[in-house]
């Protein structure tokens, strides 16, 4: 419906439409949380945005279905803003840069945010090619991945959790695992916006020494600086947002603390009180996720699946 919408100056009619989306709300009185996925240009098993969103929607409905209705909308197949009707919050999980479904269309989500919709963004979705799009994202979630400043290597990130720091950490234990954790995020300085770091990790200096590391990343060599890879934003217009730099693949959803933290952050985004022990949901099933992936089989498929399944089974075994 809006794939060909002319964005040169969103007019009052469109803003009125966005307000109508908010006012419609859920007929059952629940908060509506929409997970928005995009297409993937990565290899089989990586950046499985549809699988990630489908699983997160299932887990939200399982753990907080009495107060939240979670839906999954795949913009990779159909870019249709009307499918977000009634949403109180959006979590965007997609490719970035030129493959971002909202590339050159951030005015659409900005209009929703101005109408009261809270926005969360995961992994590559925090990166646009256009400075103008990144500037809009800053107003929604407080920061973005900036080419030539931020960095995206794979490494073992470990997180020490202080449960008293914020309710989204309720019930979350210290955890860590090897993944692509983007860091050195370009945070905004917007009057009236409050940024609260949630996950911090110390990045190995071996990563900062790499030729591919941007100069600002290498500049922190030897300083032991903690890097923020997940945060919350409280915006000047009264909305909420979050950025989460993990989530390269859906397999870590088997890790109980990673899963609980994402659920808690989604609840916070939807303005739902978080219980003392956080929200719980059943871990996903490896074969069920794998069966839904329709991309071509990768050349290292057997080794990849063996490695991912071993990590997956380990996380399942560690859960109480």
pTM: 0.91
CB-based contact 65:79 (threshold 8 Å): no
Per the rule left: phi > 0, alpha: psi between -120 and 50, beta: everything else, 107 is alpha
Q: Which pLDDT value is given to residue 81? A: 95
∠ at Cα 95 (246, 166), nearest 5°?
30
pLDDT band at residue 27 using 50, 70 and 90 as cut-offs: low
Rounded Cα distance, 271 and 24, in Å: 17
- pLDDT, one tens digit per residue, over 155-193 is 999 999 999 999 999 999 999 999 999 999 999 999 999
Domain 12-318, CATH class in plain words:
alpha beta
User: CB within 8 A of 77, min separation 6: which ones?
Assistant: 39
**β-strand partners of 231:** 197, 243
Q: Is the dihedral of CA 245, 239, 117, 12 positive or negative?
A: negative
pLDDT band at residue 13 using 50, 70 and 90 as cut-offs: very low
pLDDT at residue 21 tops 70: no
């Amino acid at each position: 419906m809006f794939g060909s919408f002319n964005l040169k100056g969103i007019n009052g009619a469109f803003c009125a439409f966005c307000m109508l989306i908010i006012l419609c709300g859920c007929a059952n009185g629940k908060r509506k949380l929409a997970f928005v996925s995009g297409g993937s240009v990565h290899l089989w098993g990586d950046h499985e945005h549809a699988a990630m969103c489908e699983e997160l929607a299932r887990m939200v409905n399982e753990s907080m279905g009495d107060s939240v209705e979670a839906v999954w909308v795949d913009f990779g197949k159909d870019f249709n803003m009307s499918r977000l009707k009634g949403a109180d919050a959006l979590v965007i999980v997609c490719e970035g840069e030129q493959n971002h479904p909202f590339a050159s269309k951030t005015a659409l989500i900005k209009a929703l945010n101005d109408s009261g919709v809270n926005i969360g963004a995961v992994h590559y979705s925090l990166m646009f090619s256009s400075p103008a799009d990144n500037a809009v994202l800053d107003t929604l979630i407080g920061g973005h991945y900036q080419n030539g400043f931020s960095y995206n290597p794979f490494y073992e990130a470990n997180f020490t959790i202080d449960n008293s720091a914020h309710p989204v950490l309720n019930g979350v234990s210290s955890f860590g695992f090897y993944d692509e954790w983007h860091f050195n995020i370009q945070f905004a300085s917007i009057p009236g916006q409050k940024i609260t770091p949630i996950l911090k990790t110390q990045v190995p200096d071996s990563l900062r020494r790499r030729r591919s590391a941007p100069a600002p990343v290498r500049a922190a060599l030897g300083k032991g600086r903690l890097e923020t890879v997940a945060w919350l934003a409280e915006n000047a217009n009264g909305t909420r947002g979050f950025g989460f730099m993990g989530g390269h693949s859906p397999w870590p959803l088997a890790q109980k603390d990673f899963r609980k933290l994402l659920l808690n952050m989604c609840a916070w985004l939807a303005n739902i009180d978080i219980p003392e022990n956080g929200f719980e949901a059943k871990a996903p099933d490896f074969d069920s996720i794998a069966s839904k992936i329709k991309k071509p089989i990768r050349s290292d498929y057997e080794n990849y699946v063996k490695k991912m399944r071993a990590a997956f089974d380990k996380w399942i075994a560690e859960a109480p």
